[in-house]
Amino acid sequence: MKLNLTRNIRPRAALAVVVLVLLASVVAGRERPDHTQVAEPVRQADLSAIAAPAADLDLDRLQRPNKEETVPDLFAPPVPSAPPATAAQPAAPSIPPLPFRYLAKVVDGRTTQVFVAQGDEPHAIHKGETIDGLYKVERVTESAVTFKHLPSGTRQTLPISALN
């Protein structure tokens, strides 16, 4: 028997196609289930062993109890947690910010006089002066004035501009 092909096919190419077809049929044959094994019939005794635990099952225990819980708001801002309870400690007196703002300074020989404003009220200050009974001027230098807050005893510094 002779095949009449209108195209010339190389023998190697034909052989490669035949090998691929045979390989595909072997792989496809393995995917089919094996019908040689026969399932054993289920006996009545086996069914009773399976059904027995179902009779002991308490279905009421599988249900969740109805709890009226509120669902948390996922978009609410976080609530700050309370600090842990410790022994009562006396609160340290709060130190107010320095109420003075630098205006100018005058250097006359060895003495430096600084002009500051407290709100709208100007003050000409020098070392040792007490302002409103709350602040004492402890030190005046070319770069800063040091105040002592009398109720708390803390020192605060007001920087002075070097351009004057």
Mean pLDDT of 37-53: 60
Percent of the chain exceeding pLDDT 90 equals 7
**Which pLDDT does position 25 carry in this prediction?**
81
CA 115 – CA 103 distance, rounded (Å): 5
Most confident of 58-67, 75-84, 95-104: 95-104
CA 112 – CA 103 distance, rounded (Å): 14
**Which pLDDT does position 46 carry in this prediction?**
58
**Whether 135 contacts 147, CB under 8 Å:** yes
Residue 38 pLDDT > 70: no
Domains and CATH numbers, the chain: 100-159 (2.30.30)
Please, what is the Cα angle at 129 between 126 and 132, to 5 degrees?
Answer: 125
**Which pLDDT does position 141 carry in this prediction?**
83
Most confident of 34-43, 57-66, 90-99, 124-133: 124-133
Higher pLDDT among residues 24 and 90, named by residue: 24
Residue 39 to residues 30, 43, 118, Cα–Cα distance (Å)? 20, 12, 101
Collapsing DSSP states into helix, strand and coil, what is residue 137?
strand
Q: Which of 132, 136, 127, 133 is CA-nearest to residue 154?
A: 136
**Which pLDDT does position 5 carry in this prediction?**
55
Sole residue written with tokens 């393995």: 30
**Which pLDDT does position 162 carry in this prediction?**
66
- Per the prediction, the chain carries an average pLDDT of 76
User: What are the pLDDT digits (tens) for 91-139?
Assistant: 666 778 888 888 888 878 777 788 899 888 988 888 888 988 889 999 8
CA 31 – CA 25 distance, rounded (Å): 10
Q: Which residues pair with 56 in a beta bridge?
A: none
Q: What are the tokens at 73?
A: 């708001």
Mean pLDDT of 25-53: 62
